[in-house]
Structure 1
Amino acid sequence: MEQTSLNLVAIAVFVMTLSALLGPIFNISPFIPAAATFTILGLATVDSFSWGGKGLTLFLDLFTHAEERQRIIHHEAGHFLAAYCLGIPVTGYTLTAWETFKQGEEAGMGGVQFDFSLLSDQEKISKNPLIIERTFTVLMAGIAAENIIYEKAEGGKEDKQNLREIMKILDIPVHLYPQKESWALLQAKNLLLRHQTSYKALVKIMEKRASVEECQTLIQHTMINDAK
């Protein structure tokens, strides 16, 4: 079951338990919280199988607090900056589940969309194998950003899954996965630390939902100023 479904199940169980404790005090019929709980669980099941969990993600997004939203912005800004620096095209980004839904992307609380088409061009990869390493670094940059700002990453599970899927497609031996992941995380962390001014400015402008082009222009200008 998806994490969003598990979260909603936990909420439903909590509500039912709380209602059972407070029901006698406020004269609430036990059938009301029970019916509400079973309805929520039923909707969670239907949504998980029929809609891929998108409905639950949108519902839970309503309860995302400000601190968590800031963490998401910092995470995605890490991806964006790394992609810009390493030449991986960014085609868009979202910072909430609703924005993700409106853009027709997979269910999630937000994300940066990349153009990874170069990975399917074996000729270009053979001429420039660094394309693979740069892609790995970009995928781990969100986790690296959280580690820098919050000293611990809460997001990034999907990033790791995507990284391993790409390594699988590229026929990289499984025993090398942890090594590749750790190396990419280190490279991403070093990149973000070298460009802290650009990163902090990018976080602020992404929070205002600047366009991809505006974000790229900002990064370019801050890097030029830093180089002076």
Structure 2
Amino acid sequence: MATIYVLGGSTVAGIASLALLPPNIGATLCYVFALLPILFLSVGSSAPGYIANAISSVRGDVDDGVTPQERICRHEAAHFCCGYWCGLPIKGYSVENGIAKVEFGVNTQQLTATEVAALSVTALSGLVAEAQTFGKAVGAESDLLTLEMVFRQSADFIGAAAQQDLTRWGALNAALLLKEHNAKYEQVVQAFASQQSVEDCVAILES
């Protein structure tokens, strides 16, 4: 019954946000509502409270017990791992405020369907990783805005329905990748925390 409520409520809320709110705000909220059912099924099937926590964090509720550095490190490591697993080329590597970050290189003006798919998984991976580990996704809004930009830069037009499908698909595949390769992901998290080189991080994934 909870699944029905989540799916039904998210669908109604997503449609309402597109119909009643300004385009940018409506699209962003629509992505949030589109993501909630897949997070509920893939992450919170045994603990529905995860979904409630994720919604609360998107609204800006305070998260207790987790340092910002720990959360950001895990978030960025998820982007790195999923991006690499999806075949995205690494463009740059930097350390900001003690957190390692990686930038992927793609032609952002004309994204192919394959690149859009890979970037959909990569963009949502940080949000999914936070939800899986902490039960809350503080970085949700940033990831969803990134995903919206990916859709806009697609060489082929992606309608609202297709965007919602890609959002669900991207979140599901990010969750599956992180779960399947959890041991390597955890090693990369530690590598990011200790500011190891991108070569060291790649070596972990290829070992």
TM-score (norm 2): 0.61
Tell me the number of residue pairs that the alignment of Structure 1 and Structure 2 aligns: 141
Give CA deviations for 1:170-189 in whole Å, capped at 9, x if unaligned: 22112432322121011101
Does the residue aligned with 2:138 lie in a helix, a strand or coil? Answer: coil
Establish whether residue 181 from structure 1 lines up as the match of residue 171 from structure 2.
Answer: no
- The amino acid that maps onto 2:206 is Q
1:121 to partner: Cα distance: 5.6
Partner of 2:146: 162
What residue identity is the alignment partner of 1:160? L
Partner of 2:81: 81
> 2:105 corresponds to which residue?
115
More helix by share: 1
Give the Cα–Cα distance (whole angstroms) in 2 for the partners of residues 198 and 82 of structure 1: 11
Q: Gaps (5+ residues) in structure 1? A: 1-64, 100-108, 222-228
Code of the residue aligned with 1:186 in structure 2: it is: L
Change (3 A) 1:72 1:95: farther
In the TM superposition, 1:28-43 aligns within 5 A as none
Q: Which residue of 2 aligns with 1:14?
A: none
- Residue 144 of structure 1 and its aligned partner are, at CA, apart by 1.2
Whole-angstrom CA distance in 1 between matches of 2:176 and 2:91: 24
Counterpart of 1:192 (choices 178, 181, 197) is 178
Deviates more, 1:87-96 or 1:160-169: 87-96
Q: Is the Cα contact below 8 Å between 1:72 and 1:95 reproduced in 2? A: no
Name the structure 2 match of 1:153.
137
Residue 200 (structure 2) pairs with residue 214 (structure 1): yes
CA contact (8 A) 1:74 1:145 kept: yes
1:155-180 superposed Cα distances (whole Å, 9 cap, x missing partner):
13222112112212322112432322
Structure 2 unpaired stretches of 5+ = 1-64
- Please list the CA deviations of residues 123-161 of structure 1 after superposition, one character each: whole Å capped at 9, or x if unmatched: xx3xxx433211110111111111111122111322211
Aligned counterpart in structure 2 of residue 143 of structure 1, from 104, 110, 127: 127
Name the amino acid aligned to 1:159: D
CA displacement at 1:111 relative to structure 2: 4.4
Following superposition of structure 1 onto structure 2, how do residues 19-30 of structure 1 map, counting pairs within 5 Å? Answer: none
Structure having the higher Rg: 1
Q: What SS does the corresponding residue of 2:158 show, helix, strand or coil?
A: coil
Q: Work out the CA distance in 1 between the residues paired with 2:169 and 2:66.
A: 32
Q: CA deviation at 1:90?
A: 2.2
TM-score with structure 1 length normalisation? 0.55
Map of 1:132 onto structure 2: 116
2: CA distance, partners of 1:217 / 1:169: 31
Q: Give 1:66 deviation, angstroms.
A: 6.7
Aligned to 2:67, what secondary structure does the other structure show?
A: helix
- Deviation track 1:59-118 (CA, whole Å, cap 9, x = no partner) reads xxxxxx97221010000010000011111022334564x46xxxxxxxxx874311122x
SS of aligned partner of 2:137: coil
Whether 1:71 and 2:57 are equivalent positions in the alignment is: no
Relative contact order (C-alpha < 8 Å, sep 6+): which is higher?
2
